[in-house]
Structure 1
């Protein structure tokens, strides 16, 4: 298949979709979302004013391990995070166990975030006196099941919008928290109760215990490392994103706890328990504070769940792909390209823990598993430095090996202290580790770890550079689209680019796609290439593996200097209705001139219909119509809407140009009343209708956003010609006779 790809000039690209701020918001969203809302009161009751020291110390130990992640991510800018670092550096059992622990760490954290979200819904209904027909506990369990079903369905469908929504949700949540922090400082100005900060609790055990319970709110930067191979300029952006996200989260935590303590005091907050943050919100903004803070709680836990679920799925998918777990974990859905079995099994584990484990056990268990995982990662960076000093490091840990040694010691200390809070959490963690060891020594350890064949693009054939370039994105086989685009390219002496995207959901990496996953798309593009060659053009063929087809198309336009983007209209299904179609996104902000084709085309057509436009696409649409009429050797019927129903000077000029080019042409003038109805009737009667965007015939009275829907309602083969890039006026005869 590689040889045929070389002959057919096919190039396969793996896109890096995440920019710096995309990744920062993923990290911040994964950290700020849930912990403070349910655990603030409990940690204050344990550590008192020492909670501020707990936050400071958590920042320090998080930065210690964050530096380790920053260094290893620049050495191995691939998906996997801690699992990958340990697998590449430490002996086999540690590699498997790190993946096993990482999967469980993210899954139990997901269970916690699910419980937080369900708790927020119950509180919201109770505060505003909405009656719940069943017991609150049972209602909470039903919400957990419903929420997980929605999350799993989204991950089953697969969507490229996750990164954008992560940014929106995280921004909304932080904005609400900032409102309460500002309200808290205003309260301090009027009532400066600084005595509430005294005496400062310096009990090391209590501070360490509070650190352990809050630690799950500091581990989200792991997701940044898991996304390494999808981040632009990873050597620079990964360390910056890790440090930036940790700093933002710490500042928010510290300021929120500070204003809570000064305004309300540790005793009252400790007595409020899980409800402390929500209660404080209402103290700062009476009546509305409950709803606003619970809204932040729901947004935050939803964003965190959104960010963390894909991590647990990614890890289990990666372990299935390399043989550490059964192969069924690596199966991708044929239509959606999603790891549906890994999604289902991860969902079952998350749901079971959320439904049946106590909240304290879930929180402590998540912290313990992450602390143990981070301990192994710090050991790995020490071994890696001494075993592989020659490796290029985009970032190097300062004061090595002191920093990772301190990280190991502090991680183990905080994990050990959590025994005093929840022995059950340690029992759950130990049980999961023991099951992993049994699986490794009796099954996985006897198998050879497989490295799946990555997609490697062959050498690209050189094609002569042309002034004009036409790009044809294809989601499925559209031979008529390729035929029309090829005829236009041949007439314009333009390069023809055939393009298709393998869109993968956010829960798997583009680098995880292998040739076996992409064979159907490759074969489809080979067939479309043959169509282009049949009509006289050798195209450049590109397949891009990406999370977002829209962004992939825009980048392809920019990289190749595309002048005309030729897209195919497709009927909407449920998924495109919910998430929007790629065509609508491109049409809203077109990067260049566009052609949009819909419906099938008869093999031999003898007549093309053109509806003239007086606006900027009019000349371009005539140009395209004349090209196709010449290439297909058919006649051209020109429809013109005028006020009085007579042929205009411009219409007469187009008619003369057509005949000078040897095209059999006629013009039919029509009065400009009931234009859309007449356009629909013309589309029914035409073998191929070429027209400008519908809004150009309505004198700007039709919003451009409605045009894709109107295009979908037209009958018969239609080619919409949209001029975006305005060129200087030039002599028409030179354009068409050249």
Structure 2
């Protein structure tokens, strides 16, 4: 199976035909992953993490490596099956839908950019310390903080330009920087192990192992988790890797093994070979770190882990002065290289996420443009680099960096769950380079461990949760205000195409959309629609959907059109002269989805569907595939009519409750009564001895107050509402019943509800079931069901 044939569809090349250059080897992407995972984190976060966990820092690193392997296997599998830029965003998009995918991409884009800001600030901090402390360089009147941010912005500009030039230039820079930092870290580890080997009381240095309890280990794990997400960056390079199905899984596992080993060895050396000297203690008392130590004041005789925590991002560098000649300077220089390597990797990854969002039309189109010469998403690179620089100089980075950890954890939750959905839905048709074992237990363990760390992380930084929630809420705002409309318009162009249209000169703002599939149902549907349109000073749009096979392009679908235009033309005669009526023939892949697309595209206020009056006896559909699809994904108000032989309504019954759906049913019934000069009865069915009749009736009378319509009220008592409605309708010779939908379930699948559907089946006359559209509730229900319920329609 080719990439283009994958169920996810991949990503398109740019409009001018430019595509990514496939130049990265296995070695290149291993180095990219290592550079991101070692990065500035081992220098910036190791001291802070030691201050939380004490000697158990070693265990925290080991446990992080262990739990991240579960998500690493998920990334290796999906990255080999879908080697595309965008990574987790693409997988979540298919498995959980566009809204969740947008939030995953939104979090990923922000998280990588904030991580980049952390790296450039650590770069600026290290450079400033070297210049002022070791070389007494002048500051030209700038404060140390301003100087640090100046160097940070300069680094962001340089590496944005490197990423702008091309992936090969990016990997070359990454290779040089990462190899140098691995060499220096290797020297540091060897020197530390040599020192430990010459000691006689090494075990004493690790006692007590849990000075802050097991909770300190969890906090250190959450704080340093950002160091173990480099495999996410590896899969972002999918379209630029040679032989991605084989090389991406290898790069994920090789880089993780190397990085976890290095972190554990650094932890052993840092806590086992360093002494608390007067010079180190004095430095700790004078240091003002950007990391923000949680230790307010050092005790009189602090332990080494307390000193390291107070030193913050300078902890590893200051400790190295005891193990190597010019060790502090060497580690600071290495920290600079590491920060640049991590910056390079995060700029690369952030820009690819931005490209995927732009290409999928949820971000503005410039994000998806590929440079014709450099073959990079150059606009996305520039905007991501700008975001990195702006956040570095304007935000409280220590807390935002903590929020980055949290957002990566939340992103990995989505990806692990998406893997389960994708394996079950597409597992038999995908071409994998690697398949994780013990399905579905591997992603389930990944979900549980990431969820635990995310929740526990609140103990370290409540503000990180607030920042993350705030950014996610902003993302939802952007999605509903901008991206959702672009997504829908894009889907409509891909799924639906108008091939025949006739419009009357008169157009009105209120529109009733009426799909016609059977000539026999045309007259009653057009008359009902005309009644509603007339009362609302509106118009009627008739449509007939011609379904096209999946393998046939929509532009070639005209061959499947036959009698539909003639059928619609004949149906138009049933509308009165004072109601404008238009018609259109539409090509689509599925009838239900095409109907909702037309309603969205034409901004219809109401969809009116015909129903044959029988519920399906299957778990897949309730009223039918077309009706179910429209009811569960409505872009506007909805009415479903059980049609009878053409006869005018005379007695209309409206069973009522205190809900928006019942009020809407009363409005629709009033439209019919005014159109046919019929009577309306509002029926309240109550439990025996109930006394809420007057309150409910007063509410409904306000809705249907109309001097031209005769409205009466009635109340009956009964334990079975359906039987009570049918019994009253039979006694009073009712010919039409209009019912509002029952309350909608969040997890339970509800169309109109059991009572309206049972009445619709059992009543011999006309039944119209209506539902008032609630956009926020509909979106929330769809969002929850994507996570907890089965998918109804593909």
Band of TM-score, shorter chain: 0.5 to 0.7
Query: For residues 388 and 340 of structure 1, do their structure 2 counterparts lie closer, same or farther at Cα, with a shift above 3 Å needed?
Result: closer
Q: Please name the residue that 1:437 is paired with.
A: 476
Query: For residues 418 and 87 of structure 1, do their structure 2 counterparts lie closer, same or farther at Cα, with a shift above 3 Å needed?
Result: same
Q: Please name the residue that 1:226 is paired with.
A: 236
Q: Deviations over 1:688-736 (max 9, x none)?
A: xxxxxxxxxxxxxxxxxxxxxxxxxxxxxxxxxxxxxxxxxxxxxxxxx
Q: Please name the residue that 1:207 is paired with.
A: 217
Offset at residue 231 of structure 1 (A): 2.2
* Range moving further from structure 2, 266-275 or 142-151: 266-275
Q: Please name the residue that 1:145 is paired with.
A: 153
**Distance in 2 between the 1:157 and 1:292 partners?**
30
Q: 2:226 aligns with which of 204, 216, 231?
A: 216
SS in 2 for 1:407: helix
Offset at residue 137 of structure 1 (A): 0.7
Q: Please name the residue that 1:239 is paired with.
A: 249
Q: 2:137 aligns with which of 130, 143, 166?
A: 130
Query: For residues 312 and 47 of structure 1, do their structure 2 counterparts lie closer, same or farther at Cα, with a shift above 3 Å needed?
Result: same
Contact 1:111 1:362 in 2 (8 A): no
**Distance in 1 between the 2:322 and 2:478 partners?**
52
**Distance in 2 between the 1:13 and 1:442 partners?**
30
Q: Please name the residue that 1:298 is paired with.
A: 336
SS in 2 for 1:160: helix
Offset at residue 187 of structure 1 (A): 1.1
Offset at residue 124 of structure 1 (A): 0.9
Offset at residue 342 of structure 1 (A): 2.5
Q: Deviations over 1:511-542 (max 9, x none)?
A: xxxxxxxxxxxxxxxxxxxxxxxxxxxxxxxx
**Distance in 1 between the 2:374 and 2:79 partners?**
29
Across the aligned residues of Structure 1 and Structure 2, the Cα RMSD in angstroms comes to 2.3
Q: Does 1:66 align with 2:72?
A: yes
Q: How does 1:159-174 map to 2 (within 5 A)?
A: 160-174=168-182
Query: For residues 166 and 157 of structure 1, do their structure 2 counterparts lie closer, same or farther at Cα, with a shift above 3 Å needed?
Result: closer
Query: For residues 13 and 301 of structure 1, do their structure 2 counterparts lie closer, same or farther at Cα, with a shift above 3 Å needed?
Result: closer
Q: How does 1:112-511 map to 2 (within 5 A)?
A: 112-128=118-134, 129-133=136-140, 134-158=142-166, 160-192=168-200, 193-201=202-210, 203-264=213-274, 265-286=304-325, 288-332=326-370, 336-390=374-428, 391-448=430-487
* Range moving further from structure 2, 72-81 or 116-125: 72-81
**Distance in 2 between the 1:291 and 1:155 partners?**
29
SS in 1 for 2:458: coil
SS in 1 for 2:239: helix
Q: Deviations over 1:611-644 (max 9, x none)?
A: xxxxxxxxxxxxxxxxxxxxxxxxxxxxxxxxxx
**Distance in 2 between the 1:13 and 1:49 partners?**
49
**Distance in 2 between the 1:12 and 1:308 partners?**
23
**Distance in 1 between the 2:315 and 2:471 partners?**
33
Query: For residues 387 and 274 of structure 1, do their structure 2 counterparts lie closer, same or farther at Cα, with a shift above 3 Å needed?
Result: same
Q: Deviations over 1:421-461 (max 9, x none)?
A: 2222222211211111122223212234759x9xxxxxxxx
**Distance in 2 between the 1:399 and 1:241 partners?**
21
- Could you say which structure has the larger radius of gyration? 2
Q: How does 1:100-111 map to 2 (within 5 A)?
A: 100-111=106-117
Q: How does 1:669-708 map to 2 (within 5 A)?
A: none
Query: For residues 447 and 305 of structure 1, do their structure 2 counterparts lie closer, same or farther at Cα, with a shift above 3 Å needed?
Result: same
Query: For residues 138 and 186 of structure 1, do their structure 2 counterparts lie closer, same or farther at Cα, with a shift above 3 Å needed?
Result: same
Q: Please name the residue that 2:734 is paired with.
A: none
SS in 1 for 2:84: coil
Q: Deviations over 1:554-611 (max 9, x none)?
A: xxxxxxxxxxxxxxxxxxxxxxxxxxxxxxxxxxxxxxxxxxxxxxxxxxxxxxxxxx
**Distance in 2 between the 1:23 and 1:430 partners?**
32
Query: For residues 307 and 97 of structure 1, do their structure 2 counterparts lie closer, same or farther at Cα, with a shift above 3 Å needed?
Result: same
Query: For residues 149 and 394 of structure 1, do their structure 2 counterparts lie closer, same or farther at Cα, with a shift above 3 Å needed?
Result: closer
**Distance in 2 between the 1:392 and 1:328 partners?**
32
Q: Deviations over 1:370-407 (max 9, x none)?
A: 11111100000011122223133322221211111111
Query: For residues 146 and 412 of structure 1, do their structure 2 counterparts lie closer, same or farther at Cα, with a shift above 3 Å needed?
Result: same
Q: Number of residue pairs matched? A: 442
**Distance in 2 between the 1:337 and 1:275 partners?**
39
**Distance in 2 between the 1:399 and 1:21 partners?**
29
Offset at residue 159 of structure 1 (A): 6.4
Contact 2:19 2:375 in 1 (8 A): no
Q: Please name the residue that 1:656 is paired with.
A: none
Q: Does 1:29 align with 2:67?
A: no
SS in 1 for 2:431: coil
Query: For residues 338 and 18 of structure 1, do their structure 2 counterparts lie closer, same or farther at Cα, with a shift above 3 Å needed?
Result: closer
Offset at residue 141 of structure 1 (A): 1.5
Offset at residue 70 of structure 1 (A): 0.9
Contact 1:353 1:362 in 2 (8 A): no
SS in 2 for 1:137: helix
**Distance in 2 between the 1:189 and 1:331 partners?**
56
Q: Deviations over 1:285-339 (max 9, x none)?
A: 13x1122111110111101111110211121122112211111323445665554
Offset at residue 233 of structure 1 (A): 2.5
Contact 1:365 1:426 in 2 (8 A): yes
Q: Deviations over 1:674-698 (max 9, x none)?
A: xxxxxxxxxxxxxxxxxxxxxxxxx
SS in 2 for 1:112: helix
Q: TM-score, normalised by structure 2?
A: 0.53
**Distance in 2 between the 1:343 and 1:150 partners?**
12
Q: Please name the residue that 2:60 is paired with.
A: 54
Q: Which runs of 4+ in 1 moved over 6 A?
A: 11-14
Query: For residues 152 and 22 of structure 1, do their structure 2 counterparts lie closer, same or farther at Cα, with a shift above 3 Å needed?
Result: closer
SS in 2 for 1:418: helix
Offset at residue 142 of structure 1 (A): 1.3
Contact 1:360 1:422 in 2 (8 A): no
Offset at residue 209 of structure 1 (A): 0.8
Offset at residue 420 of structure 1 (A): 2.1
Q: How does 1:717-732 map to 2 (within 5 A)?
A: none
Offset at residue 123 of structure 1 (A): 1.4
**Distance in 1 between the 2:19 and 2:273 partners?**
55
SS in 1 for 2:168: coil
**Distance in 2 between the 1:13 and 1:41 partners?**
43
SS in 2 for 1:319: helix
SS in 1 for 2:321: helix
Offset at residue 248 of structure 1 (A): 0.4
Contact 2:128 2:144 in 1 (8 A): yes
Offset at residue 363 of structure 1 (A): 2.2
